[in-house]
């Protein structure tokens, strides 16, 4: 019985692996040229340090992160471009998908103080033996990351505004 369960699980895993389409997670090549820069608009994002890029599957308002993530090229002149990597789209057998590319400094997009994302774009993952589909819908353009103010910054601003109002009233 145990052997049967193990064999069944192995078959399930192999079937699951067999039919998953892949994308070429790269912002350069194949008709795509979409460099990513830091908040000043000129520093390549790869030079900011600890910046990660990730693709997300868009389904209505839901964003599902895809794996793996990637970093930036280290060669001189290439630091605004991603280190290319093949990303698997679970359950997809080669049909077009809507995606968003996010880049962030630190552990996660949600907690990052420097981050940015593209508008939704389309791409078609490909099943082997075909090579992974390019992010054709990304096209040409650029992504500039933004500085996200910390909650304490907002609190300080609110305090300052409050003090100003109080000061004026007293006057």
Partner 1 sequence: MRTKTLLMTAALTAAGVATSMAQVYSVNAVGYVNKTVPANGLALVSNPLIAQNQQIKSLFASVPDGTVIYKYNPGSGFLIAEKDFGEFNEPAGSATVAPGEGVFVRNPTGQAITLTFVGEVPTGARQTPIPQGLSIVSSQVPQAGTLTALGFPAAEGDIVYKWNQAGQAYSISAFDFGSWDPAVPTLEVGEAVFVQKAAATSWNRTFNVNQ
Q: Which residues bind partner 1 (CB under 8 A)?
A: 11, 14-15, 17-18, 20, 22, 24, 26, 28-30, 73-78, 81, 83-86, 88, 128-129, 131-132
Cis peptide bond upstream of 129, omega within 30: yes
Name the β-bridge partners of 102: 54, 117
Please state, in angstroms and rounded to a whole number, the distance separating the CA atoms of residues 93 and 28: 24
Count Cβ atoms below 10 Å from residue 20 Cβ, excluding itself.
Answer: 16
Nearer to partner 1, 82 or 112 (CB): 82
> Would you say 20 or 117 has its CB closer to partner 1?
20
Output the smallest distance, CB 19 to partner 1, in A: 10
Q: Shortest gap between Cβ of 77 and partner 1 (angstroms)?
A: 5
Q: In the bound complex, what is the minimum distance in angstroms from residue 52's beta carbon to partner 1?
A: 14
Cα–Cα distance measured from residue 81 to residue 84, given in angstroms and rounded to the nearest whole number: 9
């Amino acid at each position: 019985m145990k052997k049967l369960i193990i064999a069944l699980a192995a078959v399930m895993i192999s079937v699951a692996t067999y039919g998953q389409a892949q994308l070429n997670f790269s912002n350069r090549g194949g008709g795509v040229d979409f460099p990513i820069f830091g908040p000043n608009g000129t520093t390549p994002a790869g030079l900011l340090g600890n910046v990660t890029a990730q693709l997300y599957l868009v389904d209505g308002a839901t964003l599902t992160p895809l794996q793996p993530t990637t970093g930036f090229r280290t060669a001189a002149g290439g630091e605004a471009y991603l280190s290319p990597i093949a990303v698997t789209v679970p359950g997809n057998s080669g049909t077009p998908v809507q995606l968003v590319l996010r880049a962030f400094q630190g552990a996660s997009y949600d907690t990052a103080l420097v981050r940015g994302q593209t508008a939704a774009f389309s791409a078609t993952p490909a099943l082997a033996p075909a090579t992974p589909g390019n992010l054709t819908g990304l096209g040409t353009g650029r992504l500039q990351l933004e500085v996200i103010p910390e909650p304490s910054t907002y609190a300080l601003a609110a305090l300052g505004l409050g003090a100003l109002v109080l000061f004026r009233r007293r006057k």
